[in-house]
Amino acid sequence: MATHEPKLVRTLGLLDVIMIGIAAMIGGAMFVLVGPAIGLAGPAVVIAFLMNAVITIFTAMSYAELGSSIPEVGGGYRWIREGLPRPMPFINGWLGWFAHIVATSLYAVSFGTFMQGLFALAGFADLYNMDKVFATIAIVALAYVNFRGTSPTGKAGNIITLSQLAVALAFIISGLYIMGTKPEWTVQFSDFAPMGVAGVLAAMALTFVAFEGYEVIVQAGEEVRNPRRNIPIAIFISIACVATIYSLIAVTAIGATNTGSDMPAWKFIGIHGELGIMKAADTFIPFGALLVLAGGMVSMLAALNASIFSSARVALAMGRYYNLPHLLSMIHAKNRTPYVAIMVSAGITLLIAYFFPLQEIAKAAGLIFLVLFAQVNAAVINIRRLYGERLEYGFKIPLFPAIPMIGILLNIALALYIIITQPASLLVTVVWIAIGLMIYRVYSFKQEIEHTAPLIASTGYLERKDFRVLVQYMPEDPIKLIKYALKVAEGADGEVNILRVITVPYQMPLSSGVAFVDDAIRSFVPVRSVVEERKVPYHYLPRIAHDVTDAILASVEEQRIDLLVYELDRFKRNRRLQMLLTCDAMLVRDVKGIDGSKKVLAFYDDEGEHSRLVLKCLEWMKDTERAVVYLSRLEGIEYINEKDRLKAHGYEVVEASIPDRINDRWLANLMLEKVKAYEPDTIVLPATMLGIDVINSMSMVRTLNMVNSNVIIVRHFTIHVMHQAKVMLRRILQK
């Protein structure tokens, strides 16, 4: 993975990042959400908090693994650049930046409201409508603290968060003392779950947002000392502390509250909603309302500081990769902080706080964070498979990949609940994604490609076809793969895009590759005659890049490619291309040449998109004798209809029985048997067959090496982790 300069400085220790995590997670929820949650679940709210902590751990482990192994600014956005295809990284960064800015605005306005309430209690009721002024002061002050450096930010954050914890501790100790003086406190818990399981689930849904802030820790990955150790520890300690604090506040509030009547304490607190904890505190702590109000103010300041820090880091990371203006990646020479990202994020925060319906927009924040979490869970699976032990891990997820898979399912379930209960959240999220995708297409993608894999020239037809094939120009034998691409383009009435990659070492600027452009253009001259002879529209695309894979991925996206023609053996070795390719692929091992191919034997099952692409491939090779080995678990009329459909296309159908238990060795032996019987010039296979990975199976690889035929494996585009999930689900259902 390439590095980018200038870097931030590692000044944050373990305590600093723990405080950042706690501050972001608690926010105002410590006193504002606990009251309504008690009203929904009664004393069983403790179970709701503990269950939320358990659910959170599934995704938190993904953050811990990636935060320890790729400790760079941007957190989830940076990892998704490595683990998921375009435009997923942009969407993640765009949503993350928006969600953190909205959270910052909400915390600032809430702080202003608390300040206004405090002045009202002090007798200054004429300070009405000053909440936005107080919010502005808080944003500007904490933005300045963040600008001064991570060390001042960490110290300020520690002071604010420790003050926040001191208020919580005062509330808890006072409550425990009162409970110790009145033995009848246990009566308050006799009806432990008055609202049943439904109440617990409702409380979980309400308070889950209070467990989301731990991801701010990984945004500081580039500024944490010893990140491989400190980031995982900070994540898990933060979650444990927050779950404990919420539970103890709920227990002491219920156990110590004196309602002055027969009304249960949980109902008294629930009736007062967001003011419930304040009302409860007034019954057993002198100046209890003032204490809770002060605690709420400090909590909002702590969360505000963490959110300003986090939103600026997301903007910095996106600026580094040109998904946002590169100006946002500028680091202050003295303070070593992303000062432009801080100023821009703070400015947008002020605009939202003043001019937008913040409460409605904020409803989408919970849904957005769940989308981000699901993406990170998917990315950790791909990154572990892609890099394996080449990364240094401070923490590795156990029971891999089951844990992140469960995390994805939980994220989806909670997201659906939010969509059902708060439909406006879906509208806001979709609108923001749509705006982001327009910006991505018009600006961000072009800027990213220009600075990572620029296209130097383009020669060929002005005409563009709907179906577009990409093939890499291989200097050692340029014609071989191009002929396969031409064959496909002829059969599909498409065009061929021939990519020539001029690679430049990472230590050198891309501009140094310009010296080789003329040679690259001249080398195409002998190939052009072969291409033009076939009368297929073509484009020759010389591109400069540090990495061939980057150039291929950029070309696929930029040219709207439908099919990549690529060498099979190279593809097997290129795990990154396997993970991030966003079009279909035809993977070729050439033995006899496509021009001499007269007999084609295809293998087809009826279990996926890869096999449907096999049939398309046969259509593209219409001037050959074609047979299909049909592997199917269908029975009766369905099987007969599918077989007749294949015959209607002019294919000879070769039937094969499938045993109850299959593996890659059985499949390899079957393939070898059919190839020996039919003696084809070319074999066409789907990338997965009957749930078996044809490309990476050792048995299949050995068998394919034995046959004296061209081999074509077709692979339909699918996000890798989603395909794995479908295969796993299919196997479970079969059992």
How far apart (Å, rounded) are the C-alpha atoms in residues 219 and 99? 14
Q: Is the pLDDT of residue 564 over 90?
A: yes
Beta pairing partners, 472: 499
Q: Mean pLDDT across the stretch 628-655?
A: 83
Q: What share of the chain is helix, strand, coil (3-state, %, to 5)?
A: 65, 10, 25
Asked if residue 675 lies in contact with residue 603, where contact means CB atoms within 8 angstroms, the answer is: no
Q: Is residue 299 helix, strand or coil? A: helix
Q: Could you tell me the two tokens for 698?
A: 């050792």
- Strand locations in 101-212 (E): none
Q: Mean pLDDT across the stretch 585-612?
A: 88
Q: Could you tell me the two tokens for 344?
A: 């821009």
Confidence of residue 716 (pLDDT cuts 50, 70, 90): very high
Q: Is the pLDDT of residue 215 over 50?
A: yes
Query: What SS3 string covers 357-408?
Result: CHHHHHHHHHHHHHHHHHHHHHHHHHHHHHHHHHCCCCCCCCCCCHHHHHHH
Q: Mean pLDDT across the stretch 216-226?
A: 92
How far apart (Å, rounded) are the C-alpha atoms in residues 723 and 716? 10
Query: Residue 274 class from Cβ within 10 Å (0-12 exposed, 13-18 middle, 19+ buried)?
Result: middle
How many helices and strands (H and E) does the chain possess?
Answer: 30, 13
Q: Is the pLDDT of residue 1 over 50?
A: no
Q: Map out the domains of the chain with their CATH numbers.
A: 14-389+397-447 (1.20.1740.10), 459-585 (3.40.50.620), 591-734 (3.40.50.620)
0.75 exceeded by pTM: yes
Q: Could you tell me the two tokens for 622?
A: 């219409």
Q: Mean pLDDT across the stretch 202-219?
A: 88
DSSP H/E element including 32: helix 29-32
Closest CA to 71 of 3, 155, 143: 3
Q: Is the pLDDT of residue 196 over 80?
A: yes
The amino acid at residue 273 is G
Other beta carbons within 10 angstroms of residue 547's beta carbon come to 16
Beta pairing partners, 470: 497, 564
Q: Which pLDDT score is estimated for 498?
A: 97
Q: Could you tell me the two tokens for 497?
A: 């895009």
* Residue keyed to tokens 């070593």: 336
Asked if residue 550 lies in contact with residue 510, where contact means CB atoms within 8 angstroms, the answer is: no
pLDDT tens-digit series, residues 319-335: 999 999 999 999 998 99
Largest CA distance in the chain: 97
Annotate 81-102 with b (16+ C-beta within 10 A) or e (fewer).
Answer: bbbbbbbbbbbbbbbbbbbbbb
Residues 6 or more apart in contact with residue 123 via CB below 8 angstroms:
none
How far apart (Å, rounded) are the C-alpha atoms in residues 634 and 491? 30
pLDDT tens-digit series, residues 15-63: 999 999 998 888 766 777 899 999 999 999 999 999 999 999 999 999 9
Asked if residue 78 lies in contact with residue 72, where contact means CB atoms within 8 angstroms, the answer is: yes
How far apart (Å, rounded) are the C-alpha atoms in residues 179 and 258? 11
Q: Could you tell me the two tokens for 490?
A: 């002829």
Pairwise pLDDT comparison (6 vs 453), residue with the higher score = 453
Task: Compute the mean pLDDT over every residue in the chain, rounded to the nearest whole number.
Answer: 89
Asked if residue 191 lies in contact with residue 41, where contact means CB atoms within 8 angstroms, the answer is: no
pLDDT tens-digit series, residues 608-625: 778 889 999 999 988 888
Write the DSSP assignment of 442-466 as a string of letters. IIIHHHHHHHHS-B---EE-S---S
Q: Which pLDDT score is estimated for 260?
A: 79
Q: Is the pLDDT of residue 126 over 70?
A: no
Q: Is the pLDDT of residue 387 over 70?
A: yes
Q: Could you tell me the two tokens for 670?
A: 């079957």
Asked if residue 539 lies in contact with residue 461, where contact means CB atoms within 8 angstroms, the answer is: yes
Q: Is the pLDDT of residue 458 over 50?
A: yes
Q: Which pLDDT score is estimated for 39?
A: 93
Q: Which pLDDT score is estimated for 30?
A: 75
* Residue keyed to tokens 């989308």: 371
Q: Which pLDDT score is estimated for 127?
A: 63
Pairwise pLDDT comparison (606 vs 695), residue with the higher score = 695
Q: Is the pLDDT of residue 346 over 50?
A: yes
Q: Which pLDDT score is estimated for 731?
A: 52
Phi (first) and psi of residue 523, to 5 degrees: -65, -15
How far apart (Å, rounded) are the C-alpha atoms in residues 369 and 638? 44
Asked if residue 672 lies in contact with residue 706, where contact means CB atoms within 8 angstroms, the answer is: yes
How far apart (Å, rounded) are the C-alpha atoms in residues 98 and 594? 51
Confidence of residue 4 (pLDDT cuts 50, 70, 90): very low
How far apart (Å, rounded) are the C-alpha atoms in residues 621 and 680? 13
Between CA 225 and CA 238, with CA 74 as vertex, the angle to 5 degrees is 55
Range of weakest confidence among 231-235, 311-315, 400-404, 631-635: 631-635
How far apart (Å, rounded) are the C-alpha atoms in residues 472 and 479? 10
